[in-house]
Amino acid sequence: MINITFPDGSVKQYNDGITSIEIAEQISPRLAKEVYAATVNGEVIDLTRPINSDATLKLHKWDDVEGKHAFWHSSAHLLAEALESLYPGIKFGIGPAIENGFYYDVDPGEGKAITDNELVVIENRMKELAAKNLAFIRREVSKEAAIALFSKKGDQYKVELIGELEDGTISLYTQGSFTDLCRGPHLSSTEPIKAIKLLNVAGAYWRGNEKNRMLTRIYGITYPKQKLLDDYLLFLEEARKRDHRRIGKELELFTFSPRVGMGLPLWMPRGAELRQNLINFMTKVLKKRGYAIVATPHIGDVNLYKTSGHYEKYGKDSFQPMSTPQEGEQFMLKPMNCPHHCEIFNATPHSYRDLPYRMAEFGTVYRYEQSGELHGLTRVRSFTQDDAHHFCRPDQLKEEFKSIIDLVQFIFKAVNLSEFTAQISLRDNENKEKYIGSDENWEKAEKAIIEAAEEKKLETTVVLGEAAFYGPKLDFMVKDAIGRKWQLGTIQVDYNLPERFDLTYNGSDNQKHRPVMIHRAIFGSMERFIAVLIENTSGKFPLWLAPEKAVVLPISEKFNDYALKILDFLNNSDICTLIDDRSEKIGKKI
């Protein structure tokens, strides 16, 4: 007998070798019908795998991510089976579950393509197969056997994957006539898969590397009930109505013109008013918080960016330098404001007493984005950052960083953007050559961010390899109408530019010291922020923000009160208590 501990702490005894599904059956037959996977001793496994020792057990129904994932991952295998029967000789890459549904990357063969209108045929085949209630059968094999199996089939992608796995950890799953390399877990059978929709086809590079062959990715979603699928499709339809490109056109906020150039937004009067309202509000808040507003040119000498290191990193992928007619100079459209701000800092001597020096600019920058990356206002080639740089003493770094977290939260609240996630982006220690600066400084910077976020009790996810090339960062992401995440605010710690620009301040010891630099943007860019704001509010703005004639709808009375306070603030009455004003505590007086 073995002891099984349930999530509520209760313990029951079962025969050695019992499976999760059998346990579920004993609890209630209905539960058994609704569970899709189980977490046993912390590992998510198939319901049909025997349990041979004392264990903790959690059964996953549809409501659990683990349940959905088993469901969708199994659906991906079903898709693969359908594809194999319809396209003989098709090769398979990977086919995981994702946040909403699943996909499978396939190679239909040289010169062949799978197009949108074939999806319904594939979908129907999936339905036929699912209706057969075929069991997913797991089997563990040696590496040699696995390679032999997939080599024989000609699945070079699978062979490549197996090559990187450790012998003894390789499992295969078979349903019907289809066998796939897979870690699992899976449903017990295809039976629960009742509603199936293939959503679209897209290209995707094998292993995410653009040097590799491009495979065909088929996205789909499945549900245990048709109603759930109908609801999801309805949601997508509704979401499309909130698309900022659509609302932007309807409300005449902005437009694009091929004659002006792709990715170059044109703000129409009402959009410009909205944008200006945001800028005005932010400017007042920044002044209250001890920022100095500066302005810098739209171009800069190439050597400026060589000094900063940006040229080496991004020069080839930027709008190329322009030359002057006579002097032989080279200038670039500025892709970022930081180097200019460093030179402003350098223009005057600084005492340790005067730090932090907070320098802000609504700076328009120009970045060459590949044509296929452009997307409404969220990804453009010309955009205006609400950029700022804090030059501070090392001992001020953390407090300064925390004050910016406050600011982000305050600003997001002011526009009623309540749902955002915070992501800490660190260096990828495997690929250090992608980054500049010493290990010591990187470690200090990363530590500062992690601690600041912790002390602000900010819920964060940590992602390795997403740092900027000069430093780690904390990003604030907001979802658009259909759930894509966009980075808005960002706070970045940088020890490198101060070195490169030889920035100094005089310490209390009358010696030169190196300041630490924080790069930060709250909106991120006016363009993207407004885009995401539109999609989150369906184009209904708080009173203080709305352009003339736009629909003003306070979302809730609670928010309305807040919005009115902001209006007062903008009208210069003295209600500044709504801002957690840290500048007096830690900043220089203005």
Applying the rule CB under 7 A, the residues between 461 and 490 that interact with RNA are 468-469, 482, 484
Instruction: Give SS3 for 54.
Output: coil
Residue given tokens 């996977």 in the structure block:
37
Segment lying near RNA (by CB under 7 A), choices 44-52, 220-228, 245-253, 580-588: 245-253
Question: Under the criterion CB under 7 A, does residue 295 sit at the interface with RNA?
Answer: no
Q: Which of 11, 131, 202, 543 binds RNA (CB under 7 A)?
A: 202
49 is catalytic: no
209 binding RNA? (CB under 7 A): yes
Q: Is 104 in the site for RNA (CB under 7 A)?
A: no
Does residue 77 carry a catalytic annotation?
Answer: no
Q: Which residue lies nearer to RNA by CB, 93 or 356?
A: 93
54 among known catalytic residues: no
Nearer Cβ to RNA (125/389): 389
Kindly report the backbone phi and psi dihedral angles of residue 100, in degrees, each rounded to the nearest multiple of 5, phi listed first. Answer: -125, 90
Total residues contacting RNA (rule CB under 7 A)? Answer: 49
DSSP 206: G
Count CB atoms within 10 A of the CB of residue 436.
Answer: 21
| Smallest distance from RNA to CB 219, Å | 7
Query: What value, to the nearest 5°, has the Cα angle with vertex 184 and ends 182 and 189?
Result: 105
Taking a C-beta distance cutoff of 8 angstroms, is the pair 140, 190 a contact?
no
Q: Please pick, from the candidates 164, 372, 459, 508, the single residue that binds RNA as defined by CB under 7 A.
A: 372
CA atoms within 13 A on the CB side of 24: 24
**Using rule CB under 7 A, residue 430 touches RNA:** no
| Residue 115 binds to RNA (criterion: CB under 7 A) | yes
Residue 87 binds to RNA (criterion: CB under 7 A): no
Burial class of 101 by CB neighbour count within 10 A (0 to 12, 13 to 18, 19+): buried
Residues contacting residue 511 through CB under 8 Å, at least 6 positions apart: none
Is 565 tagged catalytic?
no
Which position among 143, 183, 249, 447 is part of the footprint of RNA (CB under 7 A)?
249
CB of 473 to RNA, least distance (A): 8
Question: Is residue 210 close enough to count as binding RNA by CB under 7 A?
Answer: yes
Question: Of 46, 105, 180, 387, which one is the catalytic site residue?
Answer: 387
Candidates 10, 53, 348, 371; binder of RNA (CB under 7 A) is 371
Beta-bridge partners for 58: 39
Q: Is 473 a catalytic residue?
A: yes
Question: Which entry of 367, 456, 528, 565 is annotated as an active-site residue?
Answer: 367
On whether the CB atoms of residues 486 and 373 are closer than 8 A, the answer is no
Nearest approach, Cβ of residue 356 and RNA (Å): 20
Annotated active-site residue 182? The verdict is: no
Q: Does 573 bind RNA (CB under 7 A)?
A: no
H or E, element range at 411: helix 397-414
Is the CB of residue 583 less than 8 Å from the CB of residue 289?
A: yes
Q: Taking a C-beta distance cutoff of 8 angstroms, is the pair 376, 244 a contact?
A: yes
Q: Please state, in angstroms and rounded to a whole number, the distance separating the CA atoms of residues 30 and 496.
A: 61
Is residue 338 a contact point for RNA (CB under 7 A)? Answer: yes
CB 496 within 8 A of CB 470: yes
Cα-Cα-Cα-Cα torsion 343, 348, 354, 356, nearest 10 degrees, comes to: 0
Helix (H, G, I), strand (E, B) or coil at 576: coil
Is residue 328 within the footprint of RNA (CB under 7 A)?
Answer: no
374 binds RNA (CB under 7 A): yes
Strand order in the sheet with 43-45: 11-14, 2-5, 55-61, 35-40, 43-45
Q: Which CB sits closer to RNA, 298 or 484?
A: 484
CB 202 within 8 A of CB 108: no
Looking only at residues 132 through 191 of this chain, which bind RNA when binding is defined by CB under 7 A? none
Rule CB under 7 A: choose which of 192, 300, 335, 524 binds RNA: 335
Which one, 27 or 374, has the nearer CB to RNA? 374
Encoded tokens for 146: 């696995």
Tokens of 127: 């339905």
Write out the residues near RNA by the rule CB under 7 A. 113, 115-116, 200-205, 208-210, 214, 216-217, 219, 243, 245-246, 249, 256, 258, 261-263, 310, 313-314, 317-318, 335-336, 338, 367-376, 379, 468-469, 482, 484, 519
Catalytic residues: 338, 367, 385, 387, 389, 473, 519
